[in-house]
Structure 1
Amino acid sequence: MRATAGACRCGQRSARVHGRYVRRLRDVAVGGLGVVIELCVRRFRCENPDCTAVTFAEQIAGLTTPHSRYSPLLRGVLTRVGLALAGRAGVRLAAAAGITVGKDTLLRLVRALPDPEIGEVEVLGVDDFAFRKGRHYGTVLIDMATHRPLHLYDGREGEDLTAWLRGHPEVKVICRDRSGGYAEGARVGAPQAEQVADRYHLWANLGQAVEKSVNAHRSRLSEPVPATDGNSDALEAEPEEVQPSTELKIVTRLREQHAAAHELWEKGMSKAAIGRKLGLHQATVRKLVNARSADEVVAKSLQRAHIVDPYVGHLHRRWNEGVRNAAQLYREIQQLGYPGGELAVQRHLRRYRTGRGHAPVPGPKPPSVREVTSWIMTHPEHLRDEDADKLHRLRKRDPELDRLTLHVRKFAAMMTGRHGDRLEDWITNAEQDTLTPLAGFARNLRRDFDAVRNGLSLPHSSGAVEGNINRLKMLKRQMFGRASLDLLRKRVLLAR
C-alpha cells in the first residue's frame, strides 16, 4: 500500500516512508482512570535538498502536536487547572480527577501561554500592589471598560507607566490613586488624558485626618457624670459643698518645703545655702523657688502616671462589687496585661482601706476615638439612634468636633453628588479652620487639584482596580513562595 504523503516543516510534502514507531499520548481520564493512547506513527524522509530536516514524523490533526506527550484536550485541561490553582493545589485536583502530573509541569504549561491581545484602551486604571509590604511593590494596569488586567510590571515608578502609555496614545482617562509617581508618569506619557483621583482613596485619606482630629480631642469624649444623691428634689437645688478629703503626706510636705524655701529666698540666701539649710538637693530647691505657688509643685508631683493607672477602672468596679482581696485583684489585672507586681496594687488599695479615699463609682465608658470617627464618617441616616444621639451630645459639648462633622458631611455631599465645582470653597474653609489634620488634608488636595476635582465630577472610579488588586493578592498567596513575577503575571492576565 502506498503511504499517504506527509508535510515537513519546510512545507514540502513527501511520500517516502523512512520508518515507523509507537507513540504514546496521555489523554483526559475516563471514570477516574488515566487514559494512554498508543499510535503507530510513520516517519517520512524529506526530499527537499535545501531543508535542514532529514526526516519528520506525521501529525494527526486534533490529536498530536510535535514533541508533546499530552493530547491537546489534556493539555488544555492541565493548563486551565494550572491557571486556576497553580502548582500544589492543581496537582491535588488533577489527582482527584485521575490525572497524574507534577507541579512543575503545571507551572511550565502556564508560563508557555502567550500574552492576551491588549487592543485599544480608552479608560485606564493604575494601582500598586505589594510583593512584600513596605519593601517590594509592583504595578497593575486595568482596562476600566472590561475590568480586565492589561499589564503587570515590577516597581511603581512613573517612568515605566510613561513607557507603556506612549505605546497607547488612545488612552483618554487615567484612574489612579494619589501617588506622585503615577501622576507624573501619566502627565508625561499621556498628556492628552484626563487624570481622575480615586474617590475611595480620597475618602480613606479624609478618614485618617478625622481620626487624628478626634484623637486630639480624646480628653473631651467622656460625658460629664451628673451628680445624684437619690433625691429628685435635690437635683434642682444647689449642690452641697464637697468636704475636702484628708491631705496626703507628700502634699503636706511639699507645701511646707515650698513655704520654707521662699521664706529663705526672700531673706537673700542662695539656692545652695537653702539646700544645706533644709537638707534638700539643689535641683529640688530650684524647683520650689521657681514655682509661683505650692499648688504648682503639688500638681507636677502628682501628675506622673503610675503603673496601676491603666487598670484603675477595673479596680474601682471590683472594689465597689465588694472584692477587697489585693491578691485576687492583682491576678485579675495581670490577665488584662498588667506588667507590675502585687506590691504596687496593695499600695494603691491602701488609700481605700485607710479612709484617705474610696474608689468612686465609675461613670459610663467614654467612646473610643475610632467609634467617634466612625460616627462622623457615617451617613446620618445610616447611624443607629443610640450612636446618633451620642454624636449629637458630643457636638454640643465640643464646637471643634461639631465643625469637623460639618466639614465631613459637606465633603460627602460633594463626592456623592459629583459637585467638583465646590472643591475650591471646601479646601479654603478647611484650611482656615483650627483643625490642623483637616487643614493638612485640604492642602494636600490642592497639590493634586485637577485630578481630585475630576474624581469628584466624573463618573469614573477605581473600583474595578481595587477588585483586581484583591484578586491578585489571592493569587499571590495561593502560590506561596513560587509567586515570581513572570508566573504571577500570566495568572493575573489569563486566569478569569
Structure 2
Amino acid sequence: MWNNLGEAAERAVARHRQCLRVLLPEPAQAKSGELMPAEEAPDPPWRSHRFANRIRARHATVHAMLEAGHSRRSIGRQLHMTHHTVKSLADAARPEDLFRGQWQNNRTSTLDEYKPYLDERWDEGCTNAWKLWEEIISLGYNGSYGIVSAYIRKKRTSPRPVTARPPAPRVVTRWILSRPETLTEIEQLRLKAVLTNCPELEALTGHVRTFAQMLTERHGVRLPDWLHAVRQDDLPSLHTLAAGIDRDLDAVIAGLTLPWNSGVVEGHVNRIKMLKRQMFGRAGFRLLRKRVLLA
C-alpha cells in the first residue's frame, strides 16, 4: 500500500511541476543607475556566406554600371545575365533584400507558437524530442516530428549558460514521503516553500502523512474517512488509488488494523524459489524435496 501511495504521490507532484519553480533563485537585478550592457544581436546566417558575397558583388556591379549610364539590356549582355536577374538586382536597394528562403532571418514556422513551451520543458530537464513532440501534439501542433527534432538538436549543440533547475518530482516526492524529522533543515525549508506555493501539493502532503499515521498506528477504521477526504481535493492520481482501495476495502482495513500479515508465508515462498533456482539442472525432484523440507 505504501508503495502504491508513493507512486500516486509522484504522479501528483509531476502534474504540478510548475509549482517547483518557486525554488529557483531569482535572477540578479541590475543596480539602480547602472546600465546593463546591451546584448549584441547574433550575426545573420548569411553574414559571411559565399552565396551572400556573390550576391553583394553582382549587386554592386550592376548598380555601378547603371550609374555609369549603361542600360539594363546592355548590362545583361556584358554580364551574361537574364533580363529578370538584372531587373532584380537593379530594383533592390540593398543586396540583403534579395535573400530568400533559408537566407531570410525572419522566416516563420509552425513551431514558433510552441517554442516557449519547448524551451520551458527543456529547462526542466526534458530533452527527448519525441516526448516533446507528443506533448505539443496534444496542445494543437500539427507539424512534423522532424521540425521539433531539428529545433531540439540545435539546442543540444548550441552553447547555453548553466542555469539552475527545479528539483525533480521524485526528489520532492521523497521529501513528502519521509518523516519530517529525518529531513535536513534545507530540505524542510524547500519543501515548505513548495507547499506554500501550491495548495494541491500541501493537501497531498497532508493525505500522505495521515495515511502513514494510520499505517504505523494500525488505525484502519479511519480509512473510509481518509478516502472521503482524498476525493475532496483535485488530486486525480490519489482518486485512482482510492478507487482501487474501494474494490477491496475490507481486506485493506484488516491489513491496516490487525497485527497479522502474510510475511511468514511470503518468506517461505521466497526460500523455495531460491532453492529451485539453485537446483535447476543439477539433480532430480527427490533431492529438491529433501532440501525444501530440511532447509
Match of residue 221, structure 1, among 16, 20, 30: 20
Match of residue 362, structure 1, among 157, 163, 172: 163
Change (3 A) 1:430 1:297: same
Q: What amino acid sits opposite 1:396 in the alignment?
A: T
2:6 is aligned to 207
Report whether the alignment pairs 1:425 with 2:225.
yes
Greater share of residues in helix: 2
Structure scoring higher RCO (CA < 8 A, sep ≥ 6) equals 2
Q: What amino acid sits opposite 1:360 in the alignment?
A: P
Greater share of residues in strand: 1
1:190 is aligned to none
> Which residues in structure 2 correspond to 1:317-332 (within 5 Å)?
none
Residue 473 of structure 1, CA deviation: 4.2
Residue 463 of structure 1, CA deviation: 2.9
Residue 375 of structure 1, CA deviation: 1.6
Match of residue 113, structure 2, among 295, 299, 302: 299
CA contact (8 A) 1:395 1:402 kept: yes
What SS class does the counterpart of residue 367 from structure 1 fall into? coil
- Point out the more displaced range, 295-304 or 474-483: 295-304
2:139 is aligned to none
Match of residue 194, structure 2, among 385, 391, 394: 394
> Which residues in structure 2 correspond to 1:256-405 (within 5 Å)?
298-300=112-114, 348-349=157-158, 359-363=160-164, 365-405=165-205
Calculate the aligned-residue CA RMSD, in Å. 4.5
Residue 450 of structure 1, CA deviation: 0.8
Q: For 1:445 and 1:247, how far apart are their aligned partners in 2?
A: 58
CA contact (8 A) 1:214 1:372 kept: yes
Q: For 2:126 and 2:249, how far apart are their aligned partners in 1?
A: 49
Residue 459 of structure 1, CA deviation: 1.2
Q: For 1:387 and 1:366, how far apart are their aligned partners in 2?
A: 13
- What is the TM-score when the length of structure 1 is the normalising length? 0.35
Which structure would you say has the larger Rg? 1
- What is the TM-score when the length of structure 2 is the normalising length? 0.56
1:115 is aligned to none
Unpaired runs of at least 5, structure 1: 1-201, 251-278, 281-293, 314-339, 353-358
CA contact (8 A) 2:17 2:169 kept: yes
Unpaired runs of at least 5, structure 2: 46-99, 102-107, 128-148
Change (3 A) 1:346 1:446: closer
CA contact (8 A) 1:472 1:492 kept: yes
Change (3 A) 1:221 1:455: same
Q: For 1:247 and 1:393, how far apart are their aligned partners in 2?
A: 38
Residue 207 of structure 1, CA deviation: 1.5
Identical-residue share of aligned pairs (%): 41
Residue 303 of structure 1, CA deviation: 5.4
> Which residues in structure 2 correspond to 1:116-135 (within 5 Å)?
none
Change (3 A) 1:475 1:434: same
Residue 462 of structure 1, CA deviation: 2.9
> Which residues in structure 2 correspond to 1:23-38 (within 5 Å)?
none
CA contact (8 A) 1:476 1:483 kept: no
Residue 451 of structure 1, CA deviation: 0.9
CA contact (8 A) 2:24 2:166 kept: no
Q: For 1:396 and 1:388, how far apart are their aligned partners in 2?
A: 12
Residue 309 of structure 1, CA deviation: 8.6
Change (3 A) 1:295 1:471: same
